[in-house]
Structure 1
Amino acid sequence: MSFGNVPYRTLLGLPGVTGQAVLGFLAQLTQQVAPVGIVLVVQYASGSLALAGVTAGAFSVGAGMGRPVHGRLMDRRGPGPVLAATALVHTAALVVLAVLAGGDLPSWVMVALAWLAGAGLPPISLSMRIAWGRRMADSGRTAAYSLVYLVQELAFLIGPLVFGLLIAAGTSAPGGAAPETVESSSLALVVVAVAAGLGTLAFARALGAGPVTETRDRGRVFADRRMLVLVSVALLLGGVFGALQVGLPALAAARDAPAATGLLVAALSLGGIAGAAVYGARSWTSSPAVRLVGLMLALGVVVAPLVLIEALPVVWIGLFAGGLALNPAVTTTSLLVDEFAPAAQAEAFGWVSTAIGMGGAVGSGVAGVTGEGHGASAPFLAAAAFALVGAGLALTLRGRG
């Protein structure tokens, strides 16, 4: 079941796919860098962590609002125009924010620019799902969607590392002070934003033109009521992400090892990469709906015991195991979109992405409240609850639409 086996070999053997994967990786560098970069730039410029948090939140809200709109436009006009327009908006908003934040820019303008950067976040993974899914038979779409998340996860891992190296390079001169830190953070954000913008334009050119779906039935995303259920399951899946994002640093801090946060986050990401690679490397006989139930159930069962575990190395193993189910579960939601909303795929993918993002916000909030009241391990119980409720809800997806 190696990465080189069918169906990955078939997918990567299609003309243009390898190049699109590389360009898609470059185009997604800002997805994790932008929120972190916005926090650093705004906090350094204003001295207010609260304003930095609000500004980063505006970016996330904008991204969630933009996805369904991007999808609807892609269903009607194809990926090229949408990718080009969003690349320009996203890059310009980030560059303006990074360059002007240090010069008495009003708070509301910084928030608005961050929202605009989020609303213009190019729909790279959505475009890859559509383009690659169309070129693979039904049995090969698991590999196609798994590769989408592998590329995205690698960008999530490497983007912040590149961003950190750029900041370090800008502040490595002897005698560096706070002004140099401000400038290096802004410059690093500009460099990554421009690189991602250029990557997006090249990616759009590599994909080519044309509508991404054969039909253009406006408003038909939720014609099958199971699509509403799927969005709800995606919301709960996002809740798992959000709860873990709060729970990991809280647990590390409670163990007097805050530096271990990065290792714990890496465990989840590495598990996700391994899970996506293995999940897409074989053909499955069970239906996607049945697999989604099993994956959500496995995720909840793996995460729940972390509430009781004290040793961080054991937590690391548990998180890696959770990642093995987490990314395949996200991949499976894409397979179900193919089944439930074939007439408006791109917009349907957009709604699923928005639901995952909204679920992340809800999960973070729930985890924060439970962690405050019941200890640093409580967010893991919240994450497990989201997964198990999602598994129960996914059971209804096996019925007729």
Structure 2
Amino acid sequence: MTGGKYVVGPYRGLFDGPGVKGFVLAGFIGRMPMSMLGIGIVLLITALTESYAMAGAVAATTNLAFAVAAPLSGRLVDRFGQARVIVPFAVVNALALAGLMLCARLDLPQWTLYAAGLLVGATSLSLGSMVRARWSALHGGSARLHTAFAFESVADEVIFVTGPALVTVLATAINPYAGLLVALVSMLGGSLALAAQRRTQPPVRADRGGGGGTPILIPGIALLSCVYLALGAVFGSVDLITVAFAEEEGVKGAAGFLLAAFAGGSMVSGLWFGSRRWRISLRGRFVRALGVFAVGLLPIAFIGDARVMAVALFMAGLAISPTLITGFSLTERLVPSSLLTEGMAWISTSIGLGVSIGAWAGGRLTEAFGASNAYGFALAAAAVAVVVGVGGSGLLRIPDAASPGKP
């Protein structure tokens, strides 16, 4: 009981400020599609065309378009404010997704699916970055921000646990369009609700750092982007390979449970990590979390039982949230306030791009060598993340003077 109070205590009062509950809820609903879109597209196109190759290619086109466009839309948000960017992007994104479904329904030429998928990805907003920017505007430079980022990391894990399961049930039990329709409504409703809450919107600040450049040119942000690209490859490959592993073990229906164990470990650690008041520097926490994550992954390549694998994935997942939380916290400290949304979008898009690469590589390696051997790719990607993160950790030292516009 005492332990529960210790964990929950720091979160008390976090949502008491004016408008806080509103933007947290809107942001959560609005970014549900980030875990639903890819699998929803695959389920729809395969149901109509029976072509996994085409379905995967359209989903990859959407993911890559988002990876390229997210930092650009983040820059627009920093320059013009969240509300002025969210509304037109959300409306066009909804129309593009509706167009994709219509193209599939009418059996239009394949290029129309790719074109619609490209537009869907290009107009998808990184709402998680915008919500974190609102937290930064409220609690920048305080211990509260660490707790807020921990909560957002847990929220992301909840989305990644529930989203794929929800869209799969809707697409298979109701009709192939149902999952994407729910994703469309969630995105549009949550995005417009977030845009309407201007009271908590971060103020638009002129760049007083001189030059008005892009955050990716900041050495520490470039380093973090490389690390999270590798970590995204871990996430993408583990998700795909684990489904194949469950099928190889004759328990395909347990694949969702295994993936939930991976995300569940991250949720548990996120709540605990956010409840702590740390004496170790952000850089120190980041390096340690990376190392623990890589070591925690090692057993999965040597397990041949689904029940043991569930435990191993849960343990490996324990280091995910601490790594993400410290990465976003470092970004908040390294990037000028005038470029904060774009800076966080670079981190999110690096993860997303890594997930696409990991899923592609994991699929190829699984077909060629089997699921257990394919896990070696995830281990190699984690090792790359550790080498890059630890080797370049000097770039993550927080300057004595706060970034412009920050405490």
Normalising by structure 1, we get a TM-score of 0.89
Equivalent in the alignment of 2:38: 35
Indicate how the Cα distance of structure 1 residues 97 and 224 shifts in structure 2: closer, same or farther if over 3 A, else same.
closer
Separation in 1 of the partners of 2:341 and 2:59? 26
Indicate how the Cα distance of structure 1 residues 347 and 57 shifts in structure 2: closer, same or farther if over 3 A, else same.
same
Alignment partner for residue 116 of structure 1, among 97, 119, 127? 119
Q: Map 1:254-293 onto structure 2 (within 5 A).
A: 254-293=248-287
Which SS does the other structure have where 1:111 is aligned? helix
The offset of 1:33, in angstroms, is 1.7
Equivalent in the alignment of 1:150: 154
Equivalent in the alignment of 1:219: 213
Equivalent in the alignment of 2:403: none
The offset of 1:364, in angstroms, is 2.8
Which SS does the other structure have where 2:27 is aligned? helix
Q: Map 1:223-372 onto structure 2 (within 5 A).
A: 223-343=217-337, 344-372=339-367
Alignment partner for residue 138 of structure 2, among 135, 140, 157? 135
The offset of 1:197, in angstroms, is 0.6
Indicate how the Cα distance of structure 1 residues 85 and 290 shifts in structure 2: closer, same or farther if over 3 A, else same.
same
Equivalent pair of 1:289/1:394 in contact (CA under 8 Å): no
Equivalent in the alignment of 1:195: 186
Deviates more, 1:379-388 or 1:364-373: 364-373
Separation in 1 of the partners of 2:106 and 2:384? 48
Which SS does the other structure have where 2:215 is aligned? coil
RMSD: 2.2
The offset of 1:211, in angstroms, is 5.3
The offset of 1:45, in angstroms, is 2.8
The offset of 1:365, in angstroms, is 3.6
Deviates more, 1:67-76 or 1:96-105: 96-105
Alignment partner for residue 176 of structure 2, among 170, 179, 185? 185
Equivalent pair of 1:20/1:207 in contact (CA under 8 Å): no
Q: Deviations over 1:247-285 (max 9, x none)?
A: 201211221221121111111111121121111111211
The offset of 1:209, in angstroms, is 7.3
User: 1:5 and 2:1 equivalent?
Assistant: no
The offset of 1:369, in angstroms, is 4.3
The offset of 1:169, in angstroms, is 5.6
User: 1:61 and 2:60 equivalent?
Assistant: no
Equivalent in the alignment of 2:164: 160
The offset of 1:298, in angstroms, is 0.8
Which SS does the other structure have where 1:245 is aligned? helix
Q: Percent identity?
A: 29
Equivalent pair of 1:24/1:203 in contact (CA under 8 Å): yes
Which SS does the other structure have where 1:14 is aligned? coil
In structure 1, the gaps of 5 or more residues are 171-183
Equivalent pair of 1:220/1:341 in contact (CA under 8 Å): no
Separation in 1 of the partners of 2:342 and 2:322? 21
Separation in 1 of the partners of 2:328 and 2:260? 24
Q: Deviations over 1:187-224 (max 9, x none)?
A: 44224312331121012212547655634352141453
In structure 2, the gaps of 5 or more residues are 400-407
The offset of 1:244, in angstroms, is 0.6
Which SS does the other structure have where 1:121 is aligned? coil
Equivalent pair of 1:296/1:388 in contact (CA under 8 Å): no
Letter in 1 for 2:188: G
Equivalent pair of 2:161/2:259 in contact (CA under 8 Å): no
Separation in 1 of the partners of 2:370 and 2:54? 27
Separation in 2 of the partners of 1:383 and 1:295? 16
User: 1:382 and 2:373 equivalent?
Assistant: no
Equivalent in the alignment of 1:85: 88
Separation in 1 of the partners of 2:176 and 2:365? 34
Separation in 1 of the partners of 2:58 and 2:328? 30
Alignment partner for residue 46 of structure 1, among 37, 40, 49? 49
Deviates more, 1:297-306 or 1:32-41: 32-41
Separation in 1 of the partners of 2:388 and 2:165? 37
Separation in 1 of the partners of 2:341 and 2:145? 15
Q: Deviations over 1:167-191 (max 9, x none)?
A: 4663xxxxxxxxxxxxx22244224
Separation in 2 of the partners of 1:240 and 1:164? 23
Deviates more, 1:94-103 or 1:296-305: 94-103
